[in-house]
């Protein structure tokens, strides 16, 4: 009975996984389908007459957008880690006054809709002159990632034994040296987790991009796909090829960092 139930569970899992991944497969299938076969009825379930014309157009037209998204994503990761890691160390180990209230405010900040924040950023950026710039996008995307990063880092750093920090203090290390030489090296899982989510949010952002960088010289891939659809709404193989290429970096990062993410997200969930 146990073996039968396990087989049924596995079969259900495989079916559900196939259903969830079918849109991804169809995206790849359409990206390889020649233009003359896109309106074929019924459509080909397999790319029998595969063509790479769509991918050729991607690399000739969309590379600047991909480069901008990469720059924004990496900048968001750096700024998020630079702000959230020290803040979490202070909340977890230094116990400042008002720390609990600050943690609650950070939690509330994640509930604010992005479109409301975008409108506020627009007025501020217009006044200080960083509208339609990459730096503006990096700062805006970091406002979503930093509260999440502080919560993840705080949960992880709270589990670091105080004896480890006390040993560093006895050896003459100050707060900053202890944070840099002791806390950060043992926080690898949480660093990878926060970095991954910050990059994914920046890479997939559309609301901040279209509001704060709609007229900039350097625009992310989300705007590239949006405008490509508007200008070439019949070239679905090229549109889907753009989506496939834009999905590759995130898919690779998720596969490479999945074990670190699992450890980082669950850190602090169980106390001894």
pLDDT tens, 50-105? Answer: 888 888 888 888 888 989 999 999 999 999 999 999 999 988 888 788 777 887 88
Res 34: pLDDT: 85
Res 137: pLDDT: 93
Res 262: pLDDT: 59
Res 264: pLDDT: 52
Res 72: pLDDT: 94
Res 233: pLDDT: 64
Residue numbers in the chain where pLDDT is lower than 50: 268-272
| Cα distance between residue 135 and residue 147, in whole Å | 19
91, 154 Cβ separation under 8 angstroms: yes
Q: Which residues of 90-114 are buried (b: 16+ CB within 10 A; e: fewer)?
A: bbbbeeeeeeeeebeebeeeeeeeb
Ordered structural domains, the chain, with CATH: 1-51 (no CATH), 55-266 (1.10.3720.10)
pTM for this structure?
0.83
């Amino acid at each position: 009975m146990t073996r039968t139930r396990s087989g049924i569970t596995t079969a259900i899992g495989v079916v559900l996984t196939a259903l969830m991944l079918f849109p991804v497969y169809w995206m790849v299938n359409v990206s390889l389908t020649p233009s003359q076969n896109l309106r074929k009825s019924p459509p080909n379930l397999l790319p029998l007459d595969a063509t790479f014309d769509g991918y050729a157009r991607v690399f000739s037209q969309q590379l600047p957008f991909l480069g901008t998204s990469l720059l924004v994503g990496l900048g968001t990761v750096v700024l998020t880690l630079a702000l959230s890691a020290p803040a979490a160390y202070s909340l977890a180990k230094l116990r400042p006054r008002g720390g609990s209230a600050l943690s609650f405010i950070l939690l509330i900040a994640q509930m604010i809709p992005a479109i409301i924040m975008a409108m506020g950023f627009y007025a501020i950026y217009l006044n200080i002159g960083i509208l339609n710039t990459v730096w503006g996008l990096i700062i805006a995307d970091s406002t979503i990632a930093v509260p999440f990063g502080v919560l993840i880092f705080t949960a992880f750093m709270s589990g670091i034994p105080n004896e480890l920090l006390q040993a560093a203090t006895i050896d003459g290390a100050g707060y900053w040296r202890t944070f840099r030489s002791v806390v950060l090296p043992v926080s690898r899982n949480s660093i990878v987790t926060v970095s991954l989510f910050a990059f994914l949010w920046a890479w997939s952002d559309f609301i901040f991009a279209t509001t704060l960088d709609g007229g900039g010289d350097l625009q992310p891939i989300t705007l590239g796909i949006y405008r490509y659809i508007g200008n070439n709404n019949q070239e679905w193989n090229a549109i889907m090829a753009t989506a496939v290429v834009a999905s590759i970096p995130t898919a690779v990062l998720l596969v490479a960092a999945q074990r670190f993410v699992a450890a980082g997200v669950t850190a602090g969930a169980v106390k001894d």
